[in-house]
Amino acid sequence: MIRGQRKKDVEPTVLLGVTSVSRGRVALFLVLVPLLLSGSLLMGPSGIGLPAIETPVGAAILNLRLSRMVMGLLVGSALSVSGVVFQAILRNPLAEPYVLGVSGGAGLGAAVAILFGAVAAIPLSLPVSAFFAAVVTLGIVYWMASRGSGGAPSVYSLILSGVIVSAICSSVIMFLVSTASAEGLHNVIWWMLGNLQPVALEQRLLAGVLIGLGFMVTWMLAMRFNALTLGREMAHYQGMNADLVIFAGLLSATLMAATAVSIGGMIGFVGLIVPHVTRAMFGADHRWLVPLSAVAGGVFLVLCDAFARTIFAPVEMPVGVITALVGGPFFLLILQRKMKHAWVA
């Protein structure tokens, strides 16, 4: 038999194991992660370098830094994965975890809890009220958006309802703040800027479980997010329940964002920019984008927090200020060179 003919019977294998990401880049990234994380452990207001672990004070400091690192990983990964989901479902580069009113709702819940004295009286009232207010706000936004379209909401009505509800929430917050005492005002503003002071262990564990749950759902849906970026109709044609995927995606993304906000306050920038940079570096395939941006978001926030507590020590900067101030120029540089690998111009 002629060779050329035999070749036709061979199963094609060119695409087998097709990988959209550069393996070298992923490897480099994964080597950098532990280095950066241990670097962050060396930074703190008590001085740069490893604290003396043998003394009780040193051990306590290291313990505190570790706790903050866990906080940063949790909050940072939750926000950036949530941002990935919102950008995929809403097909919009401006989407971020707070776009559907999570920030407005959580902020309102927190402001009410702080200003009406619940925080001082009832333990955990701040994170709980922030969390539930955020989830309720998403419910309202989703309900408002679906009413107009009769059934599943369109992307545009979701975005618009989100913006409107957020605006209403921030107006109410401003009203509350304007009538509050100086101390209450300071507390609300400080909370809204976000910080990674370690919360109680149980609370951290619960947050870890919720964020882990959201992450698993998101990762499982990763391929479907790829299909959804071609639009709801095309996703439907490809054999998936597009409305269900959109709903599950929005729900898990909001869950992650609300959990992050409830333990870390409203830290901005991470959920918007980290997904973009990860996409620019590793491509837009969500099967890789979801886990990689989780790691990237976590590490980025941990580093920012290390800077926030070190630069003006002993005064601590709100980490939300550092994220944009330090991360902004750095990420701008990356995006400038790599944007065409992320979004279509």
Partner 1 sequence: MHGWRKMSDMECAHEVGVRDAALALENVTAGYPGHEVLRGMTMQVRQGEFVVLIGPNGCGKSTLLKTASGLLQPSSGSVRLSGRDVAGLKPRERARLLGVVPQKVESPMAYTVAEIVMNGRTGASMPWQGLKDEDYVIMERAMIYTNVLSLADRYFTELSGGEQQRVILAMVLAQEPEMIMLDESISHLDINHRYEVLRILRRMNRDHGLTVVLVSHDLTLSSEIADRMILMHEGRVQASGLAAEVLRADILSRVYDCELLVQHDALTGTVNVSGVLDGTGPDGNASRSVHVIAGGGTGIELYRRLGVYGFRVTTGVLNRMDSDAEAARALGIEAVLDLPFSAISPEAAEDAAALACQADVVVLAPVPFGSGNLVNMEILRRALRCGKEVWIADGVAERDYTEGKAAAAAAAELVSDGARLWNSSHELLLELRSMEV
Residues found near partner 1 in the complex (CB under 8 A): 11-18, 20, 88, 91-93, 150, 220-221, 223-224, 226-227, 229-231, 233-241, 279, 283-285, 287, 340-344
Taking the least distance from each CB to partner 1, the nearer of 63 and 238 is: 238
Residue 24 beta carbon to partner 1: minimum distance, rounded to whole angstroms: 16
Q: Taking the C-alpha atoms of 167, 150, 245 and 255 in order, what is their torsion angle to the nearest 10 degrees? A: 30
Query: Quick one: 174 exposed, middle or buried, by C-beta within 10 A (0-12, 13-18, 19+)?
Result: exposed
- Closer by beta carbon to partner 1, 17 or else 49: 17
d(CA 267, CA 305): 11
Q: How far apart are CA 174 and CA 262, in angstroms?
A: 20
Which CB sits closer to partner 1, 225 or 331?
225
d(CA 109, CA 169): 10
**Least CB distance to partner 1 at residue 207 (A):** 24
Give 141 or 242: the residue with its C-beta nearer to partner 1. Answer: 242
Question: Which of residues 64 and 339 has its CB atom nearest to partner 1 in the complex?
Answer: 339
Q: 260 or 342: whose CB is closer to partner 1? A: 342
CB of 283 to partner 1, least distance (A): 7
Residue type, 138: L
CA distance 83 to 102: 12
Amino acid of residue 279? R
Nearest to 109 by CA among 261, 318, 269, 270: 261
* Alpha carbon distance 292, 269 (integer Å): 17
CB of 146 vs partner 1, minimal distance in Å? 14
Q: Quick one: DSSP state of residue 340? A: G
Shortest CB 169 distance to partner 1, Å: 28
Q: CB of 14: closest distance to partner 1 in angstroms?
A: 6
